[in-house]
Amino acid sequence: RQGSELSGWAMGRWTYEGIDLNHNFADLNTALWDAEDNDLVPHEFPNHYIPIPEYYTFANATVAPETRAVIDWMQRYPFVLSANLHGGELVVTYPFDMTRTYWKAQELTPTADDGVFRWLATVYATSNLAMASEERRLCHYDDFTRFGNIINGANWHTVPGSMNDFSYLHTNCFEITVELSCDKFPHASELPAEWENNRESLLLYMEQVRAG
């Protein structure tokens, strides 16, 4: 009702219990990087299929039921490719989402599969009608067109506990975030156009499962 320009960036992210679902997955990054710094990888600490920390499984852990349900779903089905859809910007981000230097708000933090992630993000961005349009405007102040409308998540803003990083480190699923539109809350009348902007890119993205 407020309209996209009047509501804040985080509007709609918190659950009734006050949990931000965008930061609610287990932080596996810190454990991996600590193990790497201590030369424990891979013989004493895995660098993939990293187990969930015990503290995260406690009944009193601040984990939303929605997050627990998604994790259970991911563990039951061996997904290899995924995307989560956000709004408020026009860009595709790829892991890592969390900066390796914990006190930095922005830092290029690539995965070992950076080339694959950049390809996946590029496939989506170049086939998305809104992103690829020569007439596209900047949503805010970041000019993502300079980078082909893709960016390493941590190099944009750090997100500890993201679903992208968790999917990659816990289940080996390659996941990206698609910021679909400058308009965070488009009106119902605008949804058909939003669908057309993303239809081909969604199909091409899914086809990458077999392309590899």
Structural domains in the chain, sorted by start: 21-210 (3.40.630.10)
Q: How many residues belong to the chain?
A: 212
Helix locations, the chain, DSSP H: 29-37, 54-57, 65-76, 114-127, 129-132, 153-156, 163-166, 191-211
Predicted confidence band at 212 (pLDDT cuts at 50, 70, 90)? low
Q: Checking DSSP bridges between strand 174-179 and strand 81-86, what pairing results, if any?
A: parallel
Neighbouring CB atoms inside 10 A of 50's CB total 20
pLDDT at 211: 63
Calculate what percentage of the chain has a pLDDT beyond 70.
Answer: 94
The answer to whether residue 7 scores a pLDDT higher than 60 is no
In this structure, what token pair is assigned to residue 190?
């605008």
User: Residues 54, 179, 200, 207: which is the catalytic one?
Assistant: 179
3-class DSSP state for residue 151? Answer: strand
Tell me if residue 175 is catalytic.
no
Calculate what percentage of the chain has a pLDDT beyond 90.
Answer: 78
pLDDT at 156: 96
Is the CB of residue 211 less than 8 Å from the CB of residue 157?
A: no
The answer to whether residue 80 scores a pLDDT higher than 90 is yes
Is the CB of residue 124 less than 8 Å from the CB of residue 132?
A: no
pLDDT at 22: 87
Classify residue 14 as left (phi > 0), alpha (psi -120 to 50) or beta: beta
Is the CB of residue 61 less than 8 Å from the CB of residue 55?
A: yes
